[in-house]
Amino acid sequence: MAHDNSSRVNEFILLGLSDTRELQLLFFTLFLLAYAMVLLGNLLIIVTVRTDPKLSSPMYFLLCNLSFIDICYTSVTAPRVLVALLSGHKAIAFEGCMAQLFFLHFVGSSEMFLLTVMAFDRYTAICRPLHYTAIMARGACWALVAACWVGGFIHSIVQTVLTLQLPFCGPNTIHSYFCDVPPIIRLACADTALTEWLMASNSGLISLGCFLVLVASYTLILAKVRARLSQGHWKALSTCTSHVMAVTLLFMPCIFTYLRPAGALPTNKYVCVIYTIFSPMMNPLIYTLRSSEVKESMWRLWKRCRA
């Protein structure tokens, strides 16, 4: 059914995390530090992997792509939040809000798919080591990464189209610091029950489905490691531990946020901080601290830069 958008709102008001000026300055400092860590940490991983031939395995190729996605993902929300916290300007144009929603889901879902591919990579390396080189050849890795981006685009375009077909003619206040599907749906001037269920089925089931695949992969890996105890397998298990930490930080808040109709419960904007800021910030620390190869490569890069 077509809706008349002649009275459509032209902008939304993002209330942010707090109305208190002191807390806004505190959040600005924390967000700025977190964003700087995301940029510097992930850029360091990308440069290290790209400049060290010893880090040419599929695992580090996928890690390099994850770092790039984390930079893009955080950059969708963090700069706009920092400007709003510092200037107090909370308005965002309707078109800008929809663009932020699109890129948030585009990059976010691509990251979920990529983490699933990384789990498959670890499963293949541990459970099928003789076939690992053939299965995870460079061409296959590029195809898997491309599939992650294509899947993210399809998911995001569905979310955006479902949102754009809703009429927005009344309240324009979003109880969050960025534009996302759940808080925006609540502002629509129409019955959104069907749209809410469609979006929950889309975002929620993608989050839950990827998470279950990851849990199954790591369960199989754990069973394999327990059956064949060796130094190499324990090293692989240590790598998987860092993946589990990253997965938990990203997927659990997303499942909590998206696997329910938007009107069922109010979205906790502080929970959103975990998967929009905290998870991308922790990924470089988790992967570098758990990987001696990356740390050694970073040290060699540092010595080359000082020479």
Burial 172-188 (b: 16+ CB within 10 A, else e): bebbbbbbbbbbbbbbb
Average pLDDT estimate for 53-70 = 90
Q: At residue 300, does pLDDT exceed 70?
A: yes
What's the mean pLDDT when you consider all of the chain?
84
Q: What is the C-alpha to C-alpha distance for residues 266 and 69, in angstroms, rounded to an integer?
A: 28
Report if residue 16 sits inside a domain. Answer: yes
Nearest Cα to 295, choosing from 4, 45, 27? 45
pLDDT tens sequence across 196-205: 888 877 888 8
Mean pLDDT of 25-51: 91
Residue 189 lies in a domain: yes
Question: What was the pLDDT predicted at 290?
Answer: 64
Q: Is the pLDDT assigned to residue 182 strictly greater than 60?
A: yes
Q: What is the pLDDT of residue 200?
A: 78
Residue 191 belongs to some domain of the structure: yes
pLDDT for res 146: 97
The CATH number of the domain holding residue 257 is 1.20.1070.10
Domain that holds residue 115: 11-301
Number of domains in the chain: 1
| Of 109 and 219, more confident | 109
User: What are 105-144's pLDDT values in tens digits?
Assistant: 999 999 999 999 988 998 898 888 888 989 999 999 999 9
* 4 occurs within a structural domain: no
Q: How high is the pLDDT of residue 238?
A: 63
Cross-sheet strand order for the sheet of 91-93 = 91-93, 11-14, 173-174
Residue 306 lies in a domain: no
Q: Is residue 307 part of a domain?
A: no
Indicate whether 42 belongs to any domain. Answer: yes
What's the pLDDT score for residue 10? 86
Q: Which stretch of DSSP H or E encloses residue 91?
A: strand 91-93
Q: How confident is the model at residue 103 (pLDDT cuts 50, 70, 90)?
A: very high
* pLDDT for position 4: 47
Residue 3 lies inside a defined structural domain of this protein? no
